[in-house]
Amino acid sequence: MNKKFDTQLYKLRANREADSENYQTAYIKLTRVLKRQPQDLDALHQITGILNSLCKYRAAEVRSRTIIMLGLRSSFVYLLRGAILKSLERYHEAEIALKTSLEYQPYHETTHRYLATVLTKLGRYSEAFEFCERSIELRSSEYFPYNIKGYLYLLMGDYDKAVASIDEAIRLDPKECITYMNKAIVYHLMKKKEETMETLDKIKSLVVDGKKRDFTEEIEIYSLELARLEKQDCKGGEREENQRKACIEGVKFMMNFIESELVNRC
């Protein structure tokens, strides 16, 4: 088997393994490719995506930077880098990468969605809202932009619109836990006790692969959001500051619920 065919075969097999979510196996195959051809840009891009899927974000970030330095620049290269930087909470850098991705491919729904998330983390809610709307225009069947939109309405204190948007997210994906959690926060802040309890009961009933959730992902999401809100500098005035405090109280309410659920299961 000649060297060129050998590496191509490994890349094809790695793709197949990655598509089946066998990321460790795909990673091993790609490391063999890179031992033969250290600057194979396709393999570097593939392995960067796999490291991202394995949540090895620091290693993925180094690889993504190397790819760009070696000259592979495309919408998907910058989208992947933006996603990695988002996971590393390097939101300003993520924004730059994602906006660069849009220069190559202006109508990519995922890029708009990621930008909506990143700009929300940066506290730039109006801009985040615009990218959220564009994401919905490009793919109205995706639940997540409606969830972001609902959370943005929550952050801005427009609770009725928050519920309406979150309900649309639930219609599109009735099994996504974080959507119900955001809805429970809104109802809690609206002081609608009955609706809050009904939503919390729904969260308790959700299962993954026949098992009750462990809430690991949700704990991380809300912990990061609480830290962001607590250090956020409100420059808009008293109304914005009061809304920030309300959101902090809402997130703490949800974290207390999660903790009580975990204790009850022990």
Residue 67 lies in a domain: yes
Residue 134 lies in a domain: no
Residue 32 lies in a domain: yes
* Each residue's pLDDT expressed in tens, for the chain with a length of 266 residues: 444 546 777 677 767 766 667 778 877 777 887 778 878 888 888 889 989 988 999 999 999 999 999 988 899 999 999 999 999 999 999 999 999 999 999 999 999 999 999 999 999 999 999 999 999 999 999 999 999 999 999 999 999 999 999 999 999 999 999 999 999 999 999 999 999 999 999 999 987 766 777 888 899 999 999 999 998 876 667 888 999 999 999 999 999 999 998 877 65
Residue 21 lies in a domain: no
- Cα atoms in the Cβ-side hemisphere of radius 13 Å centred on 242: 5
The whole-model pTM stands at: 0.87
Count the domains in the chain.
2
Residue 211 lies in a domain: yes
How many Å apart are CA 57 and CA 252, to the nearest integer? 28
Tokens of 219: 């704990």
**What angle, rounded to 10 degrees, do the helices at 238-265 and 193-205 form?**
40
Residue 164 lies in a domain: no
The domain in which residue 60 lies consists of: 1-14+26-72
The percent of the chain in helix, strand and coil, each rounded to the nearest 5, is 80, 0, 20
State the pLDDT at residue 207: 78
Q: What angle do CA 222, 91, 188 make, to 5 degrees?
A: 25
State the pLDDT at residue 13: 73
Q: Would you give the DSSP letter of residue 175?
A: T
Residue 91 lies in a domain: no
Residue 167 lies in a domain: no
